Copies of this chain bind each other. A is one copy, B any other.
Amino acid sequence: MTKIAIGVDIGGTNTAVGAVDREGKVLFKTSIKTPQKSENPNGDKGISKKLLSDYIGKLSGVIADAIQTVEGINKDVNITGIGIGAPNGNYYNGSIEFAPNLPFVGIVNFVNLISVKFPDIEVIKLTNDANAAAIGEQIYGGAKNMKNFAMFTLGTGIGSGLVVNGELVYGHDGFAGECGHTMLVPNGRLCGCGSWGHLEAYCSASGMKRTAFELLVKYNTTDSPIADKTYNELDPKMIFDAAEAGDKIALEVFELTGKYLGMGLADTIHHLSPEAIFLFGGITAAGDLIFKPTIDSMNEHLLPIFSKRNIQVLPSELPMGDAAIVGSSALVWKELEK
């Protein structure tokens, strides 16, 4: 008997579905488009029932396909559950609540909607994407033997998942672990959430771009490849390539991003004293360029009782391309192994 969990990741552009075994191996995957806000005939006023039911219909269809496909490969398969990762996903009630980049206005109980379609599947759980990544790290990755750790996902935004005493921290309402929105610079840069100076405004992909342009302005640099890119063109990969080629501006972007991120990690350590912090996202491919300044800054800002412990900052061991579905599938094993 091969046990399989279905992982679903609801992203702003696509919704990915995968069939994942207990070791984190993806046996099958597929995806559909996530409906866009522009497709909601009610705009910001409310959810369109038709838009939602069409989407749930399509999503259930590809989940059924995934189940059928793995059952076709191996007759002796047992589908243990469905784990769903989504922005503003609330583990407690199974809802996506007020997700700014999705067309599901208000509170939509996805677990109920999917349960109706799969009445025989007992475990259907939902959480936000960064929490799913943290559980993925615990079930399949580098945190297998850890009881206290944090996961930071660095991308368009910054997400986080916090594990205390072996359990994910959901807090009073299910929304704990929003470390991307902790304060870094009072009255600093505008954050995507509408507030100011949050960590996300400095260490996300656009945060790095903002730092690069800030440095061009500071030094009035003209002989950097970054000075030949428009604000809308520049992305972290270009900054990385420039840094690899020795460009001073790009190198300082990594230095500063690490400095900022290290301060953020120090705040999380002062809260939770984790064994390790995992970083997930394309930026981790830059290796020492980002890890060294991050760790140096983190230790510089820690109380001595923490800095002398050399708390590890590690790259996530989740597979980059499949991390979202793998992380979501981990919710199922986590639930079964409680």
Contact = CB atoms under 8 A, between A and B. Distances in A.
A139 to B, nearest CB: 19
Interface string A285-313: 00000000000000011111110010000
Interface centre among A184, A193, A272 (most CB of B within 10 A): A272
Contacts of A266: 182-183
Nearest to A196: B301
A321 to B, nearest CB: 29
Contacts of A274: 171-172
Nearest to A170: B273
Interface string A308-320: 0100000000000
B164 A270 contact: no
A284 to B, nearest CB: 22
A115 interface: no
A162 interface: yes
Q: Which residue, A88, A171, A179, A300, has most C-beta atoms of chain B within 10 A?
A: A171
A173 B303 contact: no
A271 B173 contact: no
A68 to B, nearest CB: 37
A167 interface: yes
B270 A182 contact: yes
A177 B263 contact: no
Contacts of A147: 172
A102 to B, nearest CB: 14
Interface in A247-300: 263, 266-268, 270-275, 300
14 contacts: A165-B165, A171-B273, A176-B271, A177-B273, A182-B267, A183-B263, A183-B266, A183-B267, A183-B301, A184-B186, A193-B303, A194-B304, A195-B301, A267-B267
Interface of A: 88, 97-98, 147-148, 162, 164-165, 167, 169-179, 181-186, 193-195, 263, 266-268, 270-275, 300-306, 309
Given A171-B272, A174-B273, A177-B273, 8 more contacts: A98-B304, A164-B169, A171-B273, A179-B270, A182-B182, A195-B302, A195-B303, A268-B271
